[in-house]
Amino acid sequence: MNTKKMILANIGSGSSYLPDIAEMLIERKDTMKVAEWRLMDIDEYRLRCTGRYVQKMFEEAGMETVITMTTELKEAVKDCDFVITTIRPGMSEARNMDETIPFKYGLIGQETTAPGGMLMGFKTIPAMLEIAHTMEEVSKPDAYLINLANPSGMVGEALNRHSKVKYACLCNGPTVIRNAMKAIYGQEDPNDVFVEVIGLNHLIWCKVYVKGEDVTDEAFEKLLEWSAENIPALRREFVEPALEKFIGYIPMGPYLEFYYDFDTNFNDLQNYSGNHWESMLATVRKHVGDVCDDLVMPEHATRAECVKIIEKRTFELYDKLDPRAYQLALNTRGGKGYGEAGITLINALWNNTNEVFSPDVASMGCIQGFDPKCVCTTTSLVNAAGIHPMCFPKLPGHMMSKIYAAKEYEKLAVEAAVTGSYHAALEALVANPLVNSYYKAKGALNELLVAEKQWLPNFSEAIAALEKGEEPKN
């Protein structure tokens, strides 16, 4: 065990999920000692609400960690060992545009998948690179940036290409699936279960091994039964068994369904986005009581609109140090597992625990035929020496074709985010395997850029041309 005390920073500490990270730190207070936890956010109200709440959690747990709150990035990351990022530029207002405008053009309206996900990347990547470059300047030389912000894979590609900082980008999906498989198969010994995760962020597949035997098909059947009983909402995120058997891997999360059955799932997403409030409210009543019964939601509210209204109530409760605030966040936002993924990975790096994770990092040849310099989501061994991707057998051809196309989209989108190139942005959308029309791509891109211009300073020249009815030159 490392006897030193670390300095940890959270950038985007106004996240309603900050207490999730606090819980993980409290669980490890005896083995991963944190001298100072610096909380930084540009929104002073949200920072004060969550900061005071986690301070109370630490006091009740007898934590000696000093909590510092600041709105200054350099102050937050100076001499840090680890920096966790949970930022969301534009917040729910921009997210609502990402989720609704693409639907007008027959394209996916979603915060991590093109074209809305690309705009999310355009807002997030410049801010993330600013954090990385500030870390290079004032953090400890071997400091790690642990990113939990979306779109995780695209952010990882940007960090990989445009910074020198050590990093890992994480999604909660691999953590959820590993925990589920250990619950299903690991009663005797959780170490008997190994979950191989491979692909790109939100385009990932997995295989399940128990005592060295490939049990993937059986595991998928058991997963469907287990999730229906334990996490009913999770059942919606998987394909049908016949498709899983065809693939030979478990397609993870709802995003894979777009790649295998676009039309059906596009319609389902539109219906889901328009009818999210009732299901969210039912979950709140079950776990938190009537805390939201007085809220009024617009007719056919999108998920982003629901989240915005719920978040307002959540922070009202945080401000009163009401424990229902955290429960409200946990049961409405879908982010359970992020704190566990981030802090457990930090613990593996800090305490040399040799644990297995599936972060977004440079592939280093772990996918046969894939550029080893590009970022992928891959099963990796993590210890004090770093993050070490594992190599696996050659993937099926149809999986590789989707990975290749999606990675070309990500590379072009990163170029556009950094340079403000309209041509690269449009080329990225045209390259995306979920976009089937140049004209639809162009229409959605133009409207999104103009609608979200306040968060897209890199695209100011292109947006000015669009507002004049002209074709951008860059």
Which residues, 6 or more positions from 278, have their beta carbon under 8 angstroms from its beta carbon? Answer: none
pLDDT at 84 over 60: yes
User: In angstroms, rounded to a whole number, what is the distance separating the alpha carbons of residues 189 and 191?
Assistant: 5
Do residues 119 and 43 lie in contact, with contact meaning Cβ atoms separated by under 8 Å?
no
Q: In the predicted model, is pLDDT for residue 336 greater than 90? A: no
Compute CA 85 distance to the chain's CA centroid, rounded to the nearest angstrom. Answer: 10
pLDDT classification of 333: cutoffs 50, 70, 90 = low
Tell me the residue type at 184.
I
Q: What is the pLDDT of residue 156?
A: 98
Q: Residue 148: what pLDDT? A: 95
| Strands of 179-253, DSSP E | 193-200, 203-210, 213-214, 250-251
Q: What is the pLDDT of residue 53?
A: 98
For the segment 386-438, what is each residue's pLDDT rounded down to a tens digit? 999 999 899 999 999 999 999 999 999 999 999 999 999 999 999 999 999 99
Give SS3 for 421. coil
Main-chain phi, psi angles of 36, to 5 degrees: -145, 135
pLDDT for 240:
85
Determine the longest span between alpha carbons in the chain, in angstroms. 67
Residue of 91, 98, 17 lying closest to 302 (CA atoms)? 98
Pair of tokens at residue 160: 């990989």
Q: pLDDT at position 3, please?
A: 82
Q: Grade residue 275 by pLDDT with cuts at 50, 70 and 90.
A: low
Q: What is the mean pLDDT of residues 320-348?
A: 87
Position 297 scores a pLDDT of 79
Statement: residue 118 has pLDDT above 90:
yes
Residue where the block lists tokens 């729910």: 92
Does residue 211 have a pLDDT over 60?
yes
pLDDT score recorded for residue 413: 98
- Distant-in-sequence, close-in-space partners of 422: CB < 8 Å, separation ≥ 6: 416, 449, 459, 462, 465, 472, 474
Beta bridge partners of 96: none
Which amino acid is residue 391, in one-letter code?
C
What SS3 class is residue 164?
coil
Beta strands in 43-175 (DSSP E): 66-70, 82-85, 144-147, 166-169
pTM of the model: 0.95
- pLDDT bracket for residue 113 (50, 70, 90): confident
Average pLDDT over residues 346-373: 96
Do 321 and 57 form a contact (C-beta atoms < 8 A)? no
Per-residue model confidence as pLDDT tens digits over 434-457: 999 999 999 999 999 999 999 999
Query: Residue holding tokens 């009663």?
Result: 187
335 pLDDT more than 60: no
Q: pLDDT band at residue 277, thresholds of 50, 70 and 90? A: confident
- Residue 282 has a CB neighbour count (10 Å cut-off) of 10
- The pLDDT of residue 232 is 65
Q: Which residues pair with 168 in a beta bridge?
A: 146
Mean pLDDT of the chain: 93
84 touches 169 (CB < 8 A): no
Predicted pLDDT of residue 392:
87
Q: Please give the DSSP secondary-structure letter assigned to residue 189.
A: -
Q: Is the pLDDT of residue 274 over 90?
A: no
Distance of CA 161 to the CA centre of its chain: 19
Q: How far apart are the first and last CA of the chain?
A: 53
pLDDT of 299 higher than 80: no
DSSP state string for 52-83: HHHHHHHHHTT--PEEEEES-HHHHHTT-SEE
Q: Dump pLDDT digits (tens) for 169-205.
A: 998 888 889 999 999 998 889 899 999 999 999 999 9
pLDDT at 110: 85
Band of residue 334 on the pLDDT scale cut at 50, 70, 90: low
**Per-residue confidence band for 168, with pLDDT thresholds at 50, 70 and 90:** very high
Cα torsion for 239, 245, 251, 254, to the nearest 10°? 0
User: Would strands 250-251 and 203-210 be described as parallel, antiparallel, or unpaired?
Assistant: antiparallel
